[in-house]
């Protein structure tokens, strides 16, 4: 029997806008929609999809990410795979979309789930954090009270007045586990006081209190609460410099440049003794689905992006209270 050769991979990419339910505020500003870039790679009548969120903090824009993805049409047609993609594109949002799309295509062509092909255990439901946007203490307490039934809350902080914010939030959610995310808004001058306020409120984890590149004070101060790197960590190459300053690392696929590097980074971070957090940007379930593989080894899971949207895409992840379930094949992987 003569085999039919596979056709070349084709690529389609586009920018999509998904309204946020209300607004979402962190120390760097407020937004009312999630702007994502979707890559679709097709071969032999099968299509794999990936989604990314270009982040201005790292100089990324949706238009630039779209162009970077489209520029990979010829290499894809020539047969570049996920492993070769790691060297062909820099880490970042654009590579993430393509990496996850290729993984999805690989699974769908094999008629298997991606974790089977990667030799990983099947993902199980995990408890995800739910994010409370930054605002005045009273407003944050009111929003927290509505979410106080959730097991894990992530509280956005912003610098001045954070001690009052976290105290008000704790009062509004006495039974929830709390994480806080300062998004680089603290300084060396208020670091100790804010750490104490978080410790007094029983906070479990503090994410990126100081600006990346200006976080040396974390190595010189007693840390009464676990401190997690976010903007200070991107991929495996950035892990070694964090030792002594951070206790945990936040892995985001838009930073690592996709699932391929994220899985390797999670393994490396665990070997170095870091606790693992899997995080996300505000995006649809297509962004969250690959991250569910990292969530299996993570102490902290923050994959609530779709819960913050006015609506999610078809076949989105299933959320039951604070539990998020692995993706169906119709969504990804």
Q: What is the CA radius of gyration of the chain?
A: 20
Residues 208 and 280 placed together within one structural domain of the fold: yes
pLDDT at 8: 85
pLDDT at 30: 76
Q: Where are the beta strands (DSSP E) in the chain?
A: 10-26, 29-43, 46-52, 126-127, 130-132, 152-156, 177-181, 205-207, 226-229, 248-251, 275-278, 300-301, 319-320, 323-324
pLDDT at 27: 59
Give domain status of residue 279, yes or no: yes
- The residue out of 71, 89, 114 marking a domain boundary is 114
Full residue range of the structural domain in which residue 63 is found: 10-114
Residues 90 and 38 placed together within one structural domain of the fold: yes
Judge whether 156 counts as a catalytic residue: yes
Give domain status of residue 143, yes or no: yes
pLDDT at 118: 96
Q: At how many degrees (to 10) do helices 259-271 and 285-295 cross?
A: 30
Judge whether 252 counts as a catalytic residue: yes
Domain count, the chain: 2
Residues 95 and 213 placed together within one structural domain of the fold: no
Residues 263 and 221 placed together within one structural domain of the fold: yes
Q: What is the 3-state secondary structure (H, E, C) of 48-69?
A: EEEEECCCHHHCCCHHHHHHHH
The catalytic position among 154, 156, 196, 214 is 156
Residues 37 and 154 placed together within one structural domain of the fold: no
- Residues 132 and 109 sit within 8 Å (Cβ to Cβ): no
Give domain status of residue 17, yes or no: yes
pLDDT by 10s per residue, the chain, length 333: 434 456 789 999 999 999 998 767 765 667 789 999 999 999 999 999 999 999 998 999 999 999 999 999 999 999 999 999 999 999 999 999 999 999 999 999 999 999 999 999 999 999 999 999 999 999 999 999 999 999 999 999 998 899 999 999 999 999 999 999 999 999 999 999 999 999 999 999 999 999 999 999 999 999 999 999 999 999 999 999 999 999 999 999 999 999 999 999 999 999 999 999 999 999 999 999 999 999 999 999 999 999 999 999 999 999 999 999 999 999 999
Residues 108 and 136 placed together within one structural domain of the fold: no
Give domain status of residue 119, yes or no: no
Q: Which two tokens stand for residue 1?
A: 């029997």
- What angle is formed at CA 112 by the lines to CA 111 and CA 113, rounded to 5 degrees? 140
Residues 54 and 185 placed together within one structural domain of the fold: no
Within 10 Å of residue 244's Cβ, how many Cβ atoms?
10
The catalytic position among 108, 154, 252, 255 is 252
**Residues in contact with 209: Cβ distance below 8 Å, sequence separation at least 6, in sequence order:** 182, 184, 185, 186, 191, 194, 195, 215, 218, 227
CATH number at residue 83: 3.30.390.10
Residues 226 and 260 placed together within one structural domain of the fold: yes
pTM of the full structure: 0.92
């Amino acid at each position: 029997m003569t085999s039919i050769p596979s056709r070349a991979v084709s690529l389609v990419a586009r920018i999509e806008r998904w309204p946020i339910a209300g607004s979402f505020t962190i120390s760097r500003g407020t937004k009312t929609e999630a702007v994502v870039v979707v890559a679709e790679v097709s071969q032999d009548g099968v299509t794999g999809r990936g989604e990314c969120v270009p982040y201005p903090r790292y100089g990324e824009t949706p238009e630039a990410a779209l162009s970077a993805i489209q520029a990979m049409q010829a290499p894809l047609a020539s047969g570049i795979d996920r492993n070769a993609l790691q060297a062909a594109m820099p880490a970042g949002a654009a590579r993430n979309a393509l990496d996850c799309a290729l993984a999805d295509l690989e699974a769908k062509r094999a008629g298997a789930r991606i974790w089977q092909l990667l030799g990983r255990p099947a993902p199980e439901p995990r408890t995800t954090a739910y994010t409370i946007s930054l605002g005045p203490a009273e407003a944050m307490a009111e929003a927290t009270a509505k979410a106080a039934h959730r097991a894990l809350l992530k509280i956005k902080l912003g610098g001045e007045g954070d001690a009052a914010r976290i105290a008000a939030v704790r009062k509004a959610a006495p039974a929830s586990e709390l994480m806080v995310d300062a998004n680089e808004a603290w300084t060396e001058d208020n670091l100790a006081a804010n750490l104490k306020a978080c410790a007094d409120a029983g906070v479990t984890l503090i994410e990126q209190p100081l600006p990346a590149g200006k976080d040396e004070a974390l190595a010189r101060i007693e840390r009464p609460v676990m401190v997690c790197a976010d903007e200070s960590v991107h991929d495996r190459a950035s892990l070694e410099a964090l030792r002594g300053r951070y206790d945990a690392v936040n892995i985001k696929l838009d930073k690592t440049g996709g699932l391929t590097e994220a899985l390797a980074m999670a393994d490396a971070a665990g070997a170095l003794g870091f606790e693992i957090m899997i995080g996300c940007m505000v995006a649809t379930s297509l962004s969250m689905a690959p991250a569910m593989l990292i969530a299996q080894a993570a102490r902290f899971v923050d994959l609530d992006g779709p819960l913050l949207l006015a609506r999610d895409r078809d076949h989105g992840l299933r959320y039951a209270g604070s539990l998020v379930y692995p993706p169906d094949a119709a969504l990804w992987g």
